Amino acid sequence: MLPVTALLSAVTFVPMLGGLALVFVPRRRAGLLKTAALLIALLVFALSLPLYFGFDGDSADFQFEEQRVWMPTLGVSYHVGIDGISLLLVLLTTFLTPLALASAWHAIEDRLKEFVITMLVLETGMLGVFVSLDLFLFYVFWEAMLIPMYFIIGVWGGANRVYAAVKFVLYTLAGSLLMLVAILALYYRHGAGTGAYTFDLVTLARWVVAPGLAQDLMFLAFALAFAIKVPLFPFHTWLPDAHVEAPTAGSVILAGVLLKMGTYGFLRFCLPLFPDASLAFGPFVVALAVVGIVYGAWVSTVQADVKKLVAYSSVSHLGFVMLGIFTLTQQGLVGGVIQMVNHGLSTGALFLMVGMIYERRHTRLIADFGGLWKVVPAFSALFLIVVLSSLGLPGLNGFVGEFLILVGAFGVSPWLAAVATTGVIFAAVYLLWMYQRVIFGEITHEENRALPDLSPREWAMLVPVVVFIVWIGVYPTTFTGKTEATLEALIAQVQSKSAVPRVSLAERGRGAPESGHPPSATVWRTPLP
């Protein structure tokens, strides 16, 4: 048994070390490579479970912390730890990676060795982003993780893969490099202000940059990097290309985990480090989020390609997450965090199932299907559950997140909540319409008559996802219980650090005052309609 003090590092680095060990497996042993990679990923998932059970949900502190000297003269340390937000994302990552590897079992044959190694290295990069509590360390993981994803899209992707891969890297790189300058500026300002030169997030978060232009610029630099990753409208144009061209495993990871890095970045860095700027720009972020919700939904409706439809639906769903976060209410934030997990599960599963159907028919066009229920009933039934979860049917996971977010949004601006709610309606339109055209009706293409139903491997991939979809839908407290204390502390931190006076949490917990003025007037510097 590992000492608990090194558990987080073990979870983070076991995938990469395992991947490097696979370098020594000969290329022709394809079966061994696949099995070993899957076992490593499952081992990592098993290792990450004690994180959940050992995590104290009543505490808002970082847990499983480790701190070691790395670059002492610069004030850089290897500092990792998780709180209620990162815990769920770490678990999501370790849960989805084995599924992604399993999805590639037959789909990827070309350069399989490189593929499994890349996937495992990617997992380390993603976990590193979520556990880092040092800005330098975070930035290293944030950038390093780009490269494996670039290869996954560019080497194993579809016809237009090179374009999509390069676009993905350049977009993300352009955003994150400005963040690097902001990190440095924050470092020197903090150093000049307090005498302690450090990249340690915990230390930096206790201090606040004087409100004004400097804080605003730093916020914008961070926000740009994260907004591109989320992606927040109008920075989303890389997403449809990357998602559609990536192989199934890549799409699952991209949608399931990578997009969450953006929203996670807002929660972890923008809010605590730049509270005033977050409040000042909050209305703009929320406006963009709502535009994204509606825009993503509309564009999804008209897609002819199922994968592209799912890709655009991510723009819409992530818009909900951003809306929830920037309402800065307890409900909105809890909804936002749980919606991150939900989106990872639902959209991950959607991509998995689109991949399954693509493996059978080598097409993803809605028009090429129809009447599948008669041919592949098990597939159709599970697909229905996943579709319903994605559109937010009560009783399944998507509803919990969207409901909390809309409650939070209504508290600060009923109008925005109303517009955002149309996104839920449109989600039902585009998802059910797609489902209807693919699954119901008569069989219009002869090729579809002989499709095999789910294989045992595919069952094994989908059942765990469906279990969690139902679990979160019925009893979300299992997951929200770990994160509420953290989020409450986060809101308190933002409010106590920002210069604008505002009402206390307890008062806002009672909902909108009778006067008709939403509490937003005091949450944000600029009141919304």
Partner 1 sequence: MTPLAMPPVAIGPLAPVLIVLGAAGLVLLLDLLPRPVGRELIATVALAGLVGALLATLALWGKPGRAFQDMLVLDDFALFANVVICYAAALVVMLSIDYLGRNGPETGEYYALVLFSTGGMMLLAAAGDLIVLFLALELMSLSLYVLAGLFKRELAASEASMKYFILGAFATSFLLYGIALIYGATGTTNLDRIAAAAAGRAHDPLLVIGLGLLLVGFGFKISSVPFHMWAPDVYQGAPTSVTALIATGSKAAALAALIRVLVTALRGSQPDWAVLLWVVAAITMTVGNVVAIAQSNLKRLLAYSSIAHVGYMLIGVVAGGSAGPGAVLFYLLTYAFTTAGAFGVLTLCERAQAEAVEVGDYAGLARRHPVLAAALGLFLLSLVGIPPLAGFVGKFYLFAAAVRAGYLWLAVIGVVNSALAAYYYLRVVVFMYMREPEGAGARLVPSFAGGLALAIALIGIVLLGVIPAPFADLAQAAVAPLLR
Task: Name the site residues for partner 1 (rule: CB under 8 A).
Answer: 70-74, 76, 111, 114, 136, 139-141, 143-144, 146-147, 150-151, 154-155, 161-162, 165-166, 169-170, 173-174, 177-178, 180-181, 184-185, 187-188
Amino acid at 217: L
Least distance from partner 1 to the Cβ atom of residue 339, Å: 30
Nearer to partner 1, 140 or 485 (CB): 140
Least distance from partner 1 to the Cβ atom of residue 181, Å: 5
Least distance from partner 1 to the Cβ atom of residue 125, Å: 10
Sign for the CA dihedral angle at 481, 486, 489, 493 comes to negative
Least distance from partner 1 to the Cβ atom of residue 231, Å: 17
Alpha helix locations (H) across 392-476?
A: 397-412, 414-439, 456-474
Nearer to partner 1, 185 or 428 (CB): 185
Nearer to partner 1, 42 or 185 (CB): 185
Nearer to partner 1, 64 or 156 (CB): 156
Region for 9 from its dihedrals, namely left if φ exceeds 0, alpha if ψ lies in -120 to 50, beta otherwise: alpha
Nearer to partner 1, 164 or 321 (CB): 164
Residues 343, 321: contact at Cβ < 8 Å?
yes
Backbone angles phi, psi at 35, to 5 degrees: -65, -45
Cβ contacts of 376-381, under 8 Å, gap ≥ 24: 376/451, 376/452, 376/453, 376/454, 377/453, 378/453, 378/454, 378/459, 379/353, 379/453, 379/454, 379/458, 380/439
Nearer to partner 1, 30 or 144 (CB): 144
Least distance from partner 1 to the Cβ atom of residue 104, Å: 17
Least distance from partner 1 to the Cβ atom of residue 263, Å: 22
Nearer to partner 1, 154 or 211 (CB): 154
Nearer to partner 1, 177 or 210 (CB): 177
Residue 282 has, within 13 A of its CA and on its CB side, a CA count of 30
Nearer to partner 1, 214 or 470 (CB): 214
Backbone angles phi, psi at 105, to 5 degrees: -50, -50
504: Cβ contacts below 8 Å, ≥ 6 apart = none
In angstroms, rounded to a whole number, what is the distance separating the alpha carbons of residues 286 and 274?
Answer: 17
**Bridge partners (DSSP) listed for residue 63:** 82
Least distance from partner 1 to the Cβ atom of residue 264, Å: 19
Least distance from partner 1 to the Cβ atom of residue 249, Å: 17
Residues 209, 189: contact at Cβ < 8 Å?
yes
Give the residue among 266, 305, 300, 247 at the shortest CA–CA distance from 118: 247
Least distance from partner 1 to the Cβ atom of residue 160, Å: 11
Residues 63, 19: contact at Cβ < 8 Å?
no
Least distance from partner 1 to the Cβ atom of residue 206, Å: 22
In angstroms, rounded to a whole number, what is the distance separating the alpha carbons of residues 235 and 374?
Answer: 41
Q: How are beta strands 76-82 and 63-71 bridged, if at all?
A: antiparallel
Nearer to partner 1, 108 or 372 (CB): 108
203 vs 75, 76, 278, CA distance in Å? 11, 12, 19
